[in-house]
Structure 1
Amino acid sequence: MQEFKLQEVRLTNGPFKKAQEADLKYILDLNPDRLLAPYLIAAGLPTKADRYGNWENIGLDGHIGGHYLSALSMMYASTGNKEIKTRLDYMISELARCQDKDGNGYVGGIPQGKVFWDRIHKGDIDGSGFGLNNTWVPIYNIHKLFAGLIDTYNYTGNEKAKEIVIKLGDWFIELIRPLSNEQIQKILKTEHGGINESFADLYIITKDKKYLETAEKISQKAFLNPLIKKEDKLTGLHANTQIPKVIGFEKISKLSGNKEWSDAAQFFWKNVTEKRSVAFGGNSVAEHFNPTDNFSGMLKSNEGPETCNSYNMERLSKALFLDKNDVSYLDFYERTLYNHILSSQDPDKGGFVYFTPIRPNHYRVYSQPETSMWCCVGTGIENHSKYGELIYSHSDADIFVNLFIPSTLNWKEKGIELEQKTKFPYENNSELILKLKNSKTFVLNIRYPKWAENFEVFINGKVQKIENKPSQYVSLTQKWKSGDKITVKFQTSTHLENLPDGSNWVAFVNGPIVLAAKTSTENLDGLFADASRMGHVAKGKYIPLDKAYALVGEKESYVSKLKNLGNMRFKLDSLELQPFFEIHEARYQMYFQTYTKENYKEKQALLKQQEIDALAIEAKTVDKINCGEQQPEVDHLYKGEKSDSGYDDAKFWRDTRSYISYQMSNKKLEGKTLEISFLGEFKVNNLEVFINDKPVEIISKNDKSIQFRVDTFELINLKIKSKDGSRTSKLNQIRILK
């Protein structure tokens, strides 16, 4: 199975075309010189504009520039827009200038990069999770540049991009040349994106085996080996740290013929899609994989599935589909495309979503070009530039129609053009019209989705006999002539889909489309993000879960009560359900609890008390850090040495044999005490606590926490040191309490 070039597919009117156009405007609103500034600074060249703020000047400097190359490349391939091409060529020429200035093949925007990389080259390595030598995910960062340069060459044929990335790859090989395998694996404990995939791509481009050997060498074995053994060790891991590694495993396995690695990638995909993904295709809570048997944390959180995760799960699904020629991978790809990816951009005002909460009556935040430089902005500008990638695919001679999206296909090599006219999901049909230079015989394969009912295919109005089953292709073989029309008709129905943990929370799904209810437009604090570090989180008022709409009665009645209003709208008592991808700038409810009439009052009373207890502790909290979680730690300027992090008993932790430090805020001096809570074996005799460089005394202690006075400090620089070099107890959470 092979993909068509993006140049061969064009979107026509519909929600995907509209999303592409909104993305195009956002891409053009970004200033290339501001994105290039970190690279110029690192190369010692004068900048032409100030670098962007937000994540682009607190450690991830340059990462959006790499994504920008990918987005420009794919948007140019998808649209032919000349301004996009001009920008892409300019970006490449400036990066070449930076690389030439450095002289050894390196180019990057990482702060103090030369000092940092020199330490790595010498084997001075201290890292875990998200900090490598107290630098924020530097290999993840430079992977974005590798990927952007490779995309520029693959999608547009830019030879200068190829030259730059080969030099950069050779620099990286020299960087790690003196390191042992153990030292390399130590580096890979820190999030590193899909750097192994990039070296596999370099092998594809050059056919030089040193790149494939490097790709294998920089694949993290501690993560790979359990997957090979079919062991589920994912719970508690930072989700988007893992998915790109698996894309690399899959690509390397395809190039090397390593079946173990291929099986590992398939095991991971199956685990995530079947056990860890919610109805709209997303996964994770606060960026981490939650327990497969308990989604309650996700239901309560304002940090639901992350868009980057779905971006990478789509990439993995595409790779597996093309490699295995298995149409079932498209079922997940399609579900996620319509419900998460399409919904992750404001279709009218532009802006990308980081977290999509499934907490009832919460909402999402949208990025802005001048304020928001998050990872999900980087993947966001890519997501909506490449919708044409899997609408169609092909073998040597035959065409496969995979998705019902209005578009045109021009397979110049074979002299075949195809136009697809459809209003799906608003109408359950699609029309395919062939335009051929000459009549010719080939197989036209049309995907029969697993959700489609009463699936029918007509050729020039004549119904065809179908013996295929859902999740297969209907293969039509004949001598086709220009003007032939193939019509596909089907039915969809609405069903309830439980969360993977089997709890009593359900979503309404019609065909592949997740339905939700718009519930309110009040208290949408920070709806369009400011430049703050955590501006991507919807921090507005929580509506208690016991105030959410619930389904009461016999389960069979929930769907039967739906009244079809047409145009994918459904009436459910006082609510109106509609496709989730249509709901924007509003609070919404996607998941509903189900109750029998007999247990409704009892269960609601219990839920109400749980909400009171949870909201009470948050009301007393001025600031908090979940130790061992990336976002809260980076937000609080984490630094440390000889520190490890992990996940035990559904809680995160961090310890140290040297020190860890954070910066916290005690706004208006509302906080009176600082509380540090611990997991597991608890001891305090081997640690010291400093606030603003002065040692502080414990004022209270219980079996799992210690407290300190902070009522005179508005800015708190907190440092926790091991007294004697032994490992401290596991810190779980730090709170400033009123």
Structure 2
Amino acid sequence: MKANFISLLSLVLVFYCHAFTEGQDPVVRAFEEKTLQARPLPLSRVRLMGGPLKRAQDLTAEYLLQLEPDRMLAGYRIRAGLEPKAEGYGGWDAVDSRQLTGHIAGHYLSAISLMYAATGNEEFKRRADYIVTEFKEVQDKRGDGYLGAIVNRDGIDGRELFERLSQGEIKSGGFDLNGLWSPWYTLHKTYAGLRDAFRCTGNKTALELEIKFAEWAERILAPLDAGQIQRMLNTEFGGMNEILVDLYADTGDKRWLDLSYKFEHRCFIEPLKRHQDILEGKHGNTQVPKLIGSADRYAYTGSAGDIMAASFFWDQVVQHHSYATGGHGHDEYFGEPGKLSDRVDGRTAETCNVYNMLKLTRRLFALRPDAHYADFQERALFNHILASIDPEDGRTCYMVPVGRGVQHEYQGMFRSFTCCVGSGMESHALHGDGIYYEAGDKLWVNLYAPSTAEWTAEGVNLKVDTDFPEGESVILKMTLQSPKEFTLALRRPYWAGDGFSVKVNGEAVSEDVIDPYRDVPESGRPVAGRGGVEQSGTYVELKRAWKTGDTVELILPKTLRLEPTPDNPQVAAIMWGPLVLAADLGPERERGRGRDVSYEPPTIPVFVAAEQSVNQWVKSVPNEPGHFRITEVGRDSLGADLEIEVNLVPFYRLHRRAYAVYFDLFSKPEWE
């Protein structure tokens, strides 16, 4: 049976590369049809055509082609007793010390596979095929299915330490398991790379290697009882549950679905199922992948516990732990829910966390299509992910702080190879994922970006022209094989102000279609935003017979507003539509991590404006879209009673500068 599945290259529904096909196992298919209410158009059917998302994709593509596969494969070959073909990279991927050695090859294989789907550039497929071939040589030499490069401080190979684990020797906690740094987390990147190579490039060998690698894991875990398994899971293990669920989807072999439950961290997951927020004090990026796995598994089991845990976790993180940018965490850890005002500095908002929250967001939308998931995707994508990549040279960031007088934490792209360098490779290859979703005769447009989409199930090609996010005009143009009736669901963002409009072929769409809640009191409208108090976006659903040449035009007016922290209304970010506005405080200083990046420049502004509407003191600069200026209410935070001028721009555009995202607000009596 396994061989039959391997022979089918496009046999599964997945979340970014392939579409549903008839070759899928009927049991898998039945659960998908029952649980998945929307499917993202595959990356291979979406093309970015311009704008900041395309710029980030292009810069990342250039970077990926500068990296040398043989260097990131050196550790694998050395541990297998093979001669390396090049000197290994350093940093967190160094081959001769206790690092996450091998994680970059996994991230890279995922990234180039995704980039092949997103661009069609054959060089990415060629490189993916090469790495899979090299992995096969390593796995064959090992002989037992293991495919890793990690060692401990004493140079003992990770495979030997896993054998000790299998015998019941378990010393775990935080990031250490039997002397290895987050070993399952590191191996997960290799598993994921093989999955993505199979799904996005059609490489059958990648699936064969992944199955053998999973068989090795199954053997390692088989002797351990439930208590030992749970003790092992006290160490970060990445998305191992997710990868095994995906392997079940790719093979139809239920043993992998069963094995995914071995990575169910019960002391964390069970309280979430009971709607208990137990996030405080926990490492953010250790937790998010656990819930990606839960959401993934729900698609194939319909288990209420999985969706309850995943959706409650998402709600809590977004509503009670996230900053205006969509990032979360201080020094990588969750804090007290709803308490953020004293946690805005240079040690906030790790990029890996946001990358994984976006993965979870896209999965949850597919399971339960709702505009509040798309609202968050837009927020996190345009305010954190785009802010995490230098638009000039493509460097990515570990932290993207939200404090006052802080700066970006750019990474050494050819020497540090941190977790956020790895996830950044994948993140900017995924910008076409989640823009469009389909189900039956319905197509959702969740994000507005210059792009084209092939909706092959209905024979529809869609082209989107827009100057978003700075502009407010969106034009969609249709090309159809033949006239067709279907529903086009256009997201109406929660931030779109008065003047929002939709026209079809130049004719205005009626108000009852544009605003289905127009007659509903504000207290009765959907609420799902930050703090659990913001209104959620909605959809404008246009059901009609469409034909080639039809156009839809949207106007998305942006207004200014303050977004205060949930625990202190006088600590706030300034928003312009979906965009965070940051204060430009001058050139950046020396780079570093943590406290090194949180320096105090000559002037950190506060605003004596707590009693005024933001529109009274934040003024747009003529002929400079997105540029705003504050004059009369600005003061030096050190207490000097002199008016200072503050320039604001969209945060994602501000690089190599010191900045402030959150500001202290005072009334005149408080300041005096």
Change (3 A) 1:190 1:373: same
Deviation (angstroms), 1:414: 2.8
Mapping of residues 362-377 of structure 1, within 5 Å: 362-377=406-421
Note the alpha carbon deviations across 1:133-165, whole angstroms, 9 max, x for none: 111000010011111111111222211111111
> Is the partner of 2:668 in helix, strand or coil?
coil
Residue aligning to 1:590: 661
Q: Aligned runs of 1:440-451 on 2, under 5 Å?
A: 440-451=484-495
**Structure 1 match to 2:596:** 539
**Counterpart secondary structure, 1:23:** helix
2:111 alignment counterpart: 71
Superposition deviation, residue 296 in structure 1: 4.9
Matched residue of 1:52: which SS?
A: coil
For 2:618, the equivalent position in structure 1 comes to: 562
1:328 aligned partner = 372
Instruction: Look up the match of 1:435.
Output: 479
Structure 2 distance, partners of 1:515, 1:72, is 33
Q: SS at 1:556's partner residue? A: coil
Shift in Å at residue 74 of structure 1? 0.8
Q: Secondary structure of the equivalent of 2:199?
A: helix
Letter of the 2:577 counterpart: G
Q: In structure 1, which of residues 45, 64, 68 is the aligned counterpart of residue 82 of structure 2?
A: 45
Root-mean-square deviation over aligned CA pairs:
1.6
- CA deviation vs aligned residue, 1:88-143 (integer Å, no higher than 9, x gap): 11111101111111111111111211221111111111110110011100001001
Do residues 358 (structure 1) and 402 (structure 2) align? yes
Give yes or no for contact 1:555–1:594 (8 Å, CA) kept in 2. no
| Aligned 8 A contact 1:551 1:558 in 2 | no
Partner of 1:525: 590
Pick one of 455, 458, 465 that aligns with 2:503: 458
Determine the C-alpha separation between the residues in 2 that align with 1:215 and 1:114. 20
Structure 2 counterpart SS, 1:491 = coil
Partner of 1:60: 100
The residue correspondences of 1:113-192 to structure 2 (distance < 5 A) are 113-192=158-237
Q: Per the alignment, in what secondary structure is the counterpart of residue 414 of structure 1?
A: coil
CA distance in 1, matches of 2:368, 2:610: 42
Q: Does 1:239 align with 2:284?
A: yes
CA distance in 2, matches of 1:437, 1:252: 36
CA positional deviation for 1:434: 0.5
Q: What per-residue deviation string (whole Å, max 9, x for no partner) do you get for residues 611-653 of structure 1?
A: xxxxxxxxxxxxxxxxxxxxxxxxxxxxxxxxxxxxxxxxxxx
Any gaps of 5 or more consecutive residues in structure 1? 527-534, 602-738
Query: In the aligned structure 2, how far is the partner of 1:555 from the partner of 1:245?
Result: 44
Q: Residues 654-685 of structure 1: CA distance to partner in whole angstroms, max 9, x if unpaired?
A: xxxxxxxxxxxxxxxxxxxxxxxxxxxxxxxx
In the other structure, the counterpart of 2:545 is 479
1:117–1:554 Cα change, 3 Å: closer
- The alignment partner of 1:349 has SS state of coil
Structure 2: distance between partners of 1:457 and 1:372: 48
* 2-structure distance, mates of 1:557, 1:211: 56
Report the CA distance between 1:507 and its aligned residue: 0.5
- Name the counterpart of 1:577: 648
Say whether the 8 Å CA contact 2:605–2:646 is kept in structure 1.
Answer: no
Alpha-carbon spacing, 1:296–1:327, altered in 2? closer, same or farther (3 Å): closer
SS in 1 for 2:391: coil
Q: Which amino acid is 1:425 matched to?
A: P
Q: How far is 1:43 from its partner?
A: 1.1
In the alignment, the residues of structure 2 paired with residue 206 and residue 21 of structure 1 have an alpha-carbon distance, to the nearest angstrom, of 33
Letter in 2 for 1:542: Y
Deviation at 1:536, TM superposition (A): 4.8
* Percent identity for Structure 1 against Structure 2: 39
Deviations 1:215-235 (A, max 9, x none): 112210010111112111110
- In the alignment, the residues of structure 1 paired with residue 212 and residue 256 of structure 2 have an alpha-carbon distance, to the nearest angstrom, of 12
CA contact (8 A) 1:521 1:587 kept: yes
Using the alignment, how far apart are the partners of 1:47 and 1:72 within structure 2?
22
TM-superposed CA distance for 1:576, in Å, is 1.6
Assess if the C-alpha contact under 8 Å between 2:371 and 2:538 holds in 1: yes
Q: Give the aligned partner of residue 607 of structure 2.
A: 551
Distance 1:466 1:434 in 2: 23
C-alpha distance in 2, partners of 1:438/1:405? 26
**556-565 vs 424-433, greater mean Cα deviation:** 556-565
> Counterparts of 1:501 and 1:145 in 2: how far apart (Å)?
41
SS across alignment from 1:370: coil
Are the aligned partners of 2:341 and 2:567 in contact in 1 as well (CA < 8 Å)?
Answer: no
Give 1:542 deviation, angstroms.
1.6
Structure scoring higher RCO (CA < 8 A, sep ≥ 6) equals: 2
Task: Name the CA distance, whole Å, in 1 between partners of 2:573 and 2:341.
Answer: 15
Q: Identify which of 37, 40, 45 aligns with 1:8.
A: 45
The reply on whether 1:379 has 2:423 as its aligned counterpart is yes
- State the Cα distance separating 1:8 from its structure 2 match: 0.4
Q: 2:642: which partner in 1?
A: none
2:638 is matched with: none
**Equivalent AA in structure 1 for residue 379 of structure 2:** R
How far apart are residue 275 of structure 1 and its match?
0.5
Is 1:82 aligned to 2:119, yes or no? no
1:416 maps to a residue whose letter is V
Q: Deviations over 1:296-341 (max 9, x none)?
A: 55324x2211000000110111111000122221111110010001
Structure 1 runs (4+) greater than 4 angstroms displaced: 535-538
SS of alignment partner, residue 387 of structure 1:
coil
Quick check: 2:571–2:662 contact (8 Å CA) kept in 1?
yes
1:440 Cα deviation (Å)?
A: 1.7
Query: SS where residue 370 of structure 2 aligns?
Result: coil
- Residue 135 of structure 2 corresponds to 95
Q: For 2:540, what is the secondary structure of its paired residue?
A: strand
Alignment match, 1:196: 241
Q: In the alignment, what sits opposite 2:671?
A: 600
**C-alpha distance in 1 between matches for 2:612 and 2:187:** 52
Q: Which residue of 2 aligns with 1:606?
A: none
In terms of fraction of residues, the more strand-rich structure is 1
Partner of 2:22: none
Q: Is the 8 A contact 1:360 1:591 kept in 2?
A: yes
Moved more, 347-356 or 147-156: 147-156
1:242-261 pair list within 5 angstroms: 242-261=287-306
Q: Which residue, 221, 232, 237 being the options, matches 2:266?
A: 221
What do the CA deviations read for 1:474-531 (whole angstroms, capped 9, x no partner)? 1112221111111111312110001132352100011111111111115x213xxxxx
1:540 Cα deviation from its structure 2 partner: 4.7
Q: Aligned residues, how many?
A: 590
Q: Partner of 1:282 in structure 2? A: 327
The answer to whether structure 1 residue 337 and structure 2 residue 381 are counterparts is yes
Counterpart of 1:635 in structure 2 is none
* Distance in 1, Cα, partners of 2:568 & 2:91: 40
Question: What's the TM-score once normalised by structure 1's chain length?
Answer: 0.78
Q: Report the alpha carbon displacement of residue 31 of structure 1 after superposing the two structures with TM.
A: 1.1
Separation of aligned partners in 1, 2:391 and 2:102: 27
SS of residue paired to 1:443: strand
Residue 538 of structure 1 deviates from its aligned partner by 6.7
Three-state SS of the structure 2 residue aligned to 1:286 is: coil
8 Å Cα contact 1:29/1:369 also seen in 2: no
Secondary structure in 2 matching 1:514:
strand
User: Which segments of 5 or more consecutive residues in structure 2 lack a partner in the other structure?
Assistant: 1-37, 152-156, 518-535, 632-644
Residues 37 and 124 of structure 1, relative CA distance in 2, 3 Å threshold: same
Write the distance in 2 (CA, Å) between the matches of 1:359 and 1:13: 31
The Cα of 1:167 is off from its aligned counterpart by 0.8
**Deviation by residue 1:53-87 (Cα, 9 ceiling, x = unmatched):** 11112421001111111110111100111221111
Q: Distance in 2 between matches of 1:296 and 1:447?
A: 31
Distance in 2 between residues matched to 1:347 and 1:547, nearest whole Å: 26
